[in-house]
């Protein structure tokens, strides 16, 4: 047999090469794994360091926030305390303002009421004076002026309760205007005219007509003037002068009674004047007219007949008494 048969190839180096390659691969893999693990460890350490730094920063931030929160809380508490103090002060100021307003309103009311009271007193005084002028002197013109002044004063009185007073005062003024000059003024004027007419009265009776006289009076008329004699008429000059003086005295007494409004004295003076009229002048139509005028003067009512007069004064006094009553 032939020994030239082929020998099998030598595989040992391949195995060793394969084993080396495997070892090298394992070493490379281990090295890469270690490098990766080292990198991961470094990354973990960096991450932990970063996390620690972040945690420290976060804790510092939290501490800063807590410190700021505590400062803010203290500021809020201080602000709340300040607000409470300011609120209390505002409440105190509001109360003081309310008290001041109330006091001012009370003072204004008192001042206004005082002014109203002074106006009422002034109006009452004017009305009292007007009433006195009417009752004691029958001075209607003076009373009208006083009523006008009282109306001006009452115009300043405001309020519904014074409306009736102004209306009553208007009625009084209208009634006063309707009286005109007044009874006493008219009577005084008529008495003056009566006294002036005395000078025109004939001292002797009028002679009868010539055709109505008897024949013997017609024959004696050129020589003797015959007049009928009145036993009541005074003939002596001294007696007539004294009678004239007495008549003038009675005329003065009548004027004084007229000024006083004394109806009894007025009528008595007129009656005495009528008696002296009969003693001084004979019976003539002029004397009859004078006596008739005296009779009309004696019938005149010297008092002012106006029921409206004095009503405003009564209402004003009643208002004051009602206010002063407890």
Those residues whose C-beta lies under 8 Å from the C-beta of residue 249, and which sit 6 or more positions away, are: none
Token digits of residue 325: 């009553």
Token digits of residue 202: 């004939």
Give the burial string for 110-119 (b: 16+ CB within 10 Å, else e). eeeeeeeeeb
Percent of the chain residues past pLDDT 70, beyond the cut: 78
What is the rounded distance in angstroms from the CA atom of residue 185 to the CA atom of residue 250?
Answer: 18
Q: Which class for 191: exposed (0-12), middle (13-18), buried (19 or more C-beta within 10 A)?
A: buried
Give the length of the chain: 326
What is the rounded distance in angstroms from the CA atom of residue 272 to the CA atom of residue 266?
Answer: 10
| Mean pLDDT over each residue of the chain, to the nearest integer | 76
pLDDT in tens, 91-137: 877 777 777 777 666 665 555 566 777 787 888 888 888 888 777 77
**Predicted confidence band of residue 225 (pLDDT cuts 50, 70, 90):** very low
What is the rounded distance in angstroms from the CA atom of residue 156 to the CA atom of residue 115?
Answer: 10
Question: Out of 6-10, 95-99, 192-196, 264-268, which region has the weakest mean confidence (pLDDT)?
Answer: 6-10
More confident residue, 32 or 223: 32
What is the rounded distance in angstroms from the CA atom of residue 318 to the CA atom of residue 164?
Answer: 13
CB atoms within 10 A of CB 120: 20
**Predicted confidence band of residue 241 (pLDDT cuts 50, 70, 90):** confident
What is the rounded distance in angstroms from the CA atom of residue 195 to the CA atom of residue 216?
Answer: 40
Q: Which of 165, 168, 129 shows the shortest CA–CA distance to 146?
A: 129
CB atoms within 10 A of CB 156: 13
Mean pLDDT of 20-26: 79
Distances (CA, A) of 277 to 59, 165, 254: 141, 51, 15
What is the rounded distance in angstroms from the CA atom of residue 154 to the CA atom of residue 148?
Answer: 10
Q: Which of 192, 187, 196 shows the shortest CA–CA distance to 267?
A: 187
pLDDT in tens, 205-221: 654 334 455 666 566 55
Those residues whose C-beta lies under 8 Å from the C-beta of residue 284, and which sit 6 or more positions away, are: 201, 202, 205, 206
What is the rounded distance in angstroms from the CA atom of residue 70 to the CA atom of residue 62?
Answer: 12
Q: How confident is the model at residue 33, as a pLDDT?
A: 80
Q: Which of 270, 254, 261 shows the shortest CA–CA distance to 302?
A: 261
What is the rounded distance in angstroms from the CA atom of residue 264 to the CA atom of residue 301?
Answer: 11
């Amino acid at each position: 047999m032939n020994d030239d048969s082929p020998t099998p190839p030598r595989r040992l180096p391949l195995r060793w090469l394969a084993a080396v390659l495997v070892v090298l691969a394992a070493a490379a893999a281990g090295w890469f794994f270690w490098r990766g693990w080292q990198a991961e460890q470094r990354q973990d350490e960096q991450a932990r360091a970063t996390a620690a730094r972040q945690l420290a920063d976060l804790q510092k931030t939290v501490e800063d926030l807590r410190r700021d929160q505590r400062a803010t809380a203290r500021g809020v508490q201080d602000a709340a305390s300040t607000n409470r103090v300011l609120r209390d002060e505002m409440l105190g100021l509001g109360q003081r303002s309310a008290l001041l307003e109330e006091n001012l309103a009370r003072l204004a009311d008192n001042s206004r009421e005082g002014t109203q009271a002074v106006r009422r007193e002034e109006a009452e005084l004017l009305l009292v004076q007007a009433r006195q002028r009417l009752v004691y002197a029958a001075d209607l013109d003076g009373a009208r002026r006083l009523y006008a002044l009282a109306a001006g004063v009452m115009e300043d009185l405001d309020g519904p309760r014074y409306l009736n007073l102004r209306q009553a005062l208007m009625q009084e003024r209208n009634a006063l205007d309707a009286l005109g000059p007044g009874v006493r003024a008219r009577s005084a004027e008529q008495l003056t005219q009566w006294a002036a007419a005395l000078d025109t009265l004939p001292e002797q009776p009028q002679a009868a007509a010539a055709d109505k006289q008897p024949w013997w009076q017609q024959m004696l008329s050129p020589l003797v003037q015959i007049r009928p004699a009145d036993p009541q008429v005074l003939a002596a000059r001294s007696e007539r002068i004294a009678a004239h003086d007495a008549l003038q005295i009675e005329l003065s007494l009548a004027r004084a009674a007229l000024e006083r409004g004394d109806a009894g004295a007025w009528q008595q003076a007129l009656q005495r004047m009528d008696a002296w009229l009969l003693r001084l002048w004979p019976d003539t139509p002029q004397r009859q007219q004078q006596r008739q005028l005296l009779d009309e003067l004696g019938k005149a009512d010297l008092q002012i007949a106006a029921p409206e007069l004095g009503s405003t004064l009564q209402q004003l006094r009643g208002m004051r008494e009602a206010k002063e009553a407890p």
